[in-house]
């Protein structure tokens, strides 16, 4: 007898279970299908692994700021022991999530979910019926189809590598590339980065990106602009990369980091006439695909929103609310902060400074170099700064941040922007001092009183 469900999720990441638990709580019979590890990419192959491995290098970078003013001796990261710890911690996550799925009364089928028709999904020899189907399969790394592509590693490989390579060749200049390059540079390794255009981290504020590029270039990272890989070959323990423009590079590890594409291969989308592209599956304002009872959420949905786990969670909870009849409105999004975990970090939220500078009739852009004024309070980080976007009434609409504490400070600006907290209200508040948030906020009074700030 065929098992019947109110809803079937293909994929077990945050885009699936965060909303599925609410449907189950409302009495829906829910099935989650997973061919890999419970929790998907972020839990097992991405966010959690990256930040765990990044931690000691963040500390190493901070220690260097005290060179000559208290630092004594050397600090180095033992990658093998760090990797051993990472594997132990990450290995526990699928088991933890398995327990949560049971707690939430979510059924699970292990294996690849393939859509047979608009109501049936096959997993191995079993076929399940679902009134609704939700595709939550995420993205997968893009690997260029070039000779020698079998030698190209992806981010999952790098985050589980036994030893850091001495010389790495990276394709691409986005999140993955520059975050990994920052770790390798801090570890004293050499890196070559092939940049398809003339811009690194193109979605982030370029003056701050240029700071990071300069820092990396002053160490042992080489950027090669307007270069794309054409061929990879192997000579004993070395790999040779040739580019379309004729550049030849040698290294002992090749990493593909040219972005990610929708993970929809061989899951039966063609059988139901469902449209898709590398950018994902088109959906409407209710996250519904071109097939009326099939939805797509998270990174696999082409919503033009940033491909972030936080956005996936937002979509998953919205879909549950919509399906339960608690809203009929299209999905809306608050301001979405994003961080690139370089050393130091770069963060952005709201109206970008680049956009604001192109529209001076609507916006003002204020540069606040709070690190120079408060370097003691910021543990000698004198380069820390933020660029704040306001309207003509001095309401904060956006922020760009360059700081080792950017991932925390951007959340504060997200709250300020979302709740429309005025500069006058911020100026009236009292903050815990010293702290990175307090010194940045105290400097905002310069905008309020129109003194001491630098407009871009």
DSSP class of residue 331?
Answer: P
- Look at residue 412 and tell me if it is in a domain: yes
pTM summary value: 0.94
**pLDDT bucket at 3, cuts 50 / 70 / 90:** confident
- Look at residue 267 and tell me if it is in a domain: yes
Instruction: List the end-to-end C-alpha distance of the chain, in Å, as a whole number.
Output: 68
Structural domain tally of the chain? Answer: 3
CA 402 vs. chain centroid, Å, equals: 17
Does 277 lie in the same domain as 246? no
Are 189 and 164 within 8 A, CB to CB? yes
- Look at residue 86 and tell me if it is in a domain: yes
Give dist(CA 140, CA 257) in Å, integer: 11
- The pLDDT, as a whole number, for residue 148 is 98
Provide the greatest CA pair distance for the chain. 75
Tens of pLDDT along 409-454?
Answer: 999 999 999 999 999 999 999 999 988 899 999 899 888 787 666 7
- The pLDDT, as a whole number, for residue 193 is 98
Tens of pLDDT along 116-168?
Answer: 999 999 999 999 999 999 999 999 999 999 999 999 999 999 999 999 999 99
Mean predicted confidence (pLDDT) in 312-334: 98
Does 283 lie in the same domain as 253? no
- Look at residue 329 and tell me if it is in a domain: no
CATH code for position 299: 3.50.50.60
Does 117 lie in the same domain as 175? no
Structural element, H or E, at residue 398: strand 396-403
Tell me which of 131-135, 224-228, 289-293, 432-436 is least confident.
Answer: 432-436
- Look at residue 333 and tell me if it is in a domain: no
Does 236 lie in the same domain as 87? no
Domain final residue pick, 258, 278, 309? 258
Does 436 lie in the same domain as 366? yes
Does 154 lie in the same domain as 131? no
Tens of pLDDT along 349-366?
Answer: 999 999 999 999 999 999
Does 428 lie in the same domain as 302? no
Does 276 lie in the same domain as 250? no
Domain final residue pick, 258, 273, 304? 258
- Look at residue 211 and tell me if it is in a domain: yes
The pLDDT of residue 1 is above 80: no
Does 231 lie in the same domain as 356? no
Give dist(CA 291, CA 286) in Å, integer: 12
Residue 244 lies in domain = 149-258
Percent of the chain with pLDDT over 90: 90
Tens of pLDDT along 66-110?
Answer: 999 998 998 999 999 999 999 999 999 999 999 999 999 999 999
Structural element, H or E, at residue 406: helix 406-418
- Look at residue 335 and tell me if it is in a domain: no
CATH code for position 370: 3.30.390.30
Tens of pLDDT along 258-281?
Answer: 999 999 999 999 999 999 999 999
Does 133 lie in the same domain as 272? yes
Does 204 lie in the same domain as 350? no
Does 434 lie in the same domain as 387? yes
């Amino acid at each position: 007898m065929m098992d019947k469900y109110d809803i079937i999720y293909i994929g077990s990441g945050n885009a699936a279970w965060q909303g599925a638990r609410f449907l189950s709580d409302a009495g829906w019979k829910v099935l989650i299908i997973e061919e890999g590890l419970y929790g998907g990419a972020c839990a097992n192959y991405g966010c959690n692994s990256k930040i765990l491995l990044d931690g000691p290098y963040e500390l190493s970078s901070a220690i260097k700021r005290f060179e000559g003013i208290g630092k004594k001796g050397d600090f180095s990261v033992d990658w093998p022991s760090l990797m051993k710890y990472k594997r132990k911690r990450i290995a526990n996550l699928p088991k933890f999530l398995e327990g949560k799925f049971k707690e939430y009364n979510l059924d699970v089928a292990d294996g690849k979910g393939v859509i047979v028709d608009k109501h049936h999904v096959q997993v191995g020899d079993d076929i399940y019926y679902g009134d609704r189907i939700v595709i939550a399969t995420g993205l997968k790394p893009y690997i260029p189809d070039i000779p020698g592509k079998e030698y190209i590693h992806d981010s999952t490989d790098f985050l589980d590598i036994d030893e850091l390579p001495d010389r790495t060749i990276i394709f691409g200049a986005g999140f993955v590339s520059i975050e990994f390059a920052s770790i390798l540079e801090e570890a004293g390794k050499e890196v070559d980065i092939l940049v398809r255009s003339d811009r690194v981290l193109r979605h982030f504020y370029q003056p701050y990106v240029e700071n990071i590029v300069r820092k990396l270039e002053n160490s042992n990272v080489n950027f090669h602009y307007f270069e794309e890989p054409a061929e990879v070959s192997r000579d004993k323990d070395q790999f040779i990369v040739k580019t379309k423009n004729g550049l030849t590079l040698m290294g002992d590890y090749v990493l593909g980091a040219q972005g990610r594409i929708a993970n929809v291969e061989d899951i039966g989308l063609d059988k139901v006439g469902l449209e898709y592209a590398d950018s994902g599956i088109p959906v409407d304002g209710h996250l519904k695909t071109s097939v009326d009872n099939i939805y797509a959420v998270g990174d696999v949905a082409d919503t033009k929103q940033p491909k972030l786990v936080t956005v996936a969670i937002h979509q998953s909870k919205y879909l549950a609310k919509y399906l339960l009849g608690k809203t009929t409105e299209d999905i809306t999004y608050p301001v979405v902060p994003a961080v690139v975990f370089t050393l130091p970090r770069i963060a952005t939220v709201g109206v970008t400074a680049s956009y604001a500078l192109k529209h001076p009739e609507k916006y003002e852009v204020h540069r606040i170099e709070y690190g120079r004024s408060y370097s003691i309070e910021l543990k000698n980080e004198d380069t820390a700064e933020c660029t704040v976007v306001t309207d003509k009434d001095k309401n904060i609409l956006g922020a760009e941040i360059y700081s080792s504490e950017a991932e925390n400070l951007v959340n504060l600006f997200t709250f300020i922007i979302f709740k429309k907290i005025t500069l006058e209200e911020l100026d009236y508040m009292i903050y815990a001092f010293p702290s990175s948030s307090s010194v940045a906020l105290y400097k905002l009074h310069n905008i309020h009183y129109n003194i001491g700030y630098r407009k871009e």
